[in-house]
């Protein structure tokens, strides 16, 4: 069975440069690991106020962050239930993404790509709390992002395509 992704896009930001749904779906499909046969993901692009509110309410951090990942299970363990698709929401904060891309000398598209991949890996259970987990997750992110035609997101000494 091939991977099937249902992707919903909600744009709650007036920011310029938000990638179209077709582009986001391409990136998301590339981030799905082989064990994921079906996924249902909502990507919501927000302004700083909503990003800050969500980060404060769900992570206890009172600032807007670049990407938040929400799974549909209560405890965050992301169980794989046979027959059910991988489900969750990603929230991208457009002003933060734009600011970071500029600060890091990356194109806006390449940074959106990286953050979407990063969020989808979180949705699939990857994390970067421990050093070994961070190394594995970053290596996988780099591999996926580069397979999509962008530079390694963790190399800050180069401009991204």
Please indicate if the annotation marks 114 as binding a ligand: no
Please indicate if the annotation marks 118 as binding a ligand: yes
DSSP H helices in 32-158: 48-59, 94-104, 108-123, 131-147
Phi-psi label, residue 143: left if phi above 0, alpha if psi -120 to 50, beta otherwise: alpha
Q: Which of 63, 114, 60 is nearest to 90 (CA)?
A: 114
CA 137 – CA 30 distance, rounded (Å): 15
Q: Are strands 4-12 and 38-46 parallel, antiparallel or unpaired?
A: parallel
Q: Which of 94, 115, 97, 124 is nearest to 5 (CA)?
A: 124
Which residue positions form the known binding site for Zn(2+)? 118, 122, 128
Query: Which residues make up each annotated binding site?
Result: 118, 122, 128
């Amino acid at each position: 069975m091939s991977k099937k992704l249902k992707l919903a896009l909600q744009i709650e930001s007036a920011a310029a440069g938000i990638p179209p749904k077709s582009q986001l779906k391409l990136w998301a499909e590339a981030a799905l690991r082989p064990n994921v046969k079906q996924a249902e993901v909502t990507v919501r692009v927000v302004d700083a106020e909503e990003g800050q509110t969500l980060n404060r309410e769900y992570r206890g951090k009172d600032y807007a962050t670049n990407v938040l990942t929400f799974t549909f299970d209560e405890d965050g363990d992301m169980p794989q239930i046979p027959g059910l698709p991988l489900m969750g929401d990603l929230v991208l904060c457009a002003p933060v993404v734009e600011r970071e891309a500029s600060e890091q000398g990356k194109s806006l598209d390449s940074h959106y790509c990286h953050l979407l991949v990063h969020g989808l890996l979180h949705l699939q259970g990857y994390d970067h709390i421990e050093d070994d987990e961070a190394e594995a997750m970053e290596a996988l992110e780099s591999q996926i992002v580069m397979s999509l035609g962008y530079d390694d997101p963790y190399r800050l000494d180069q401009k991204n395509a």
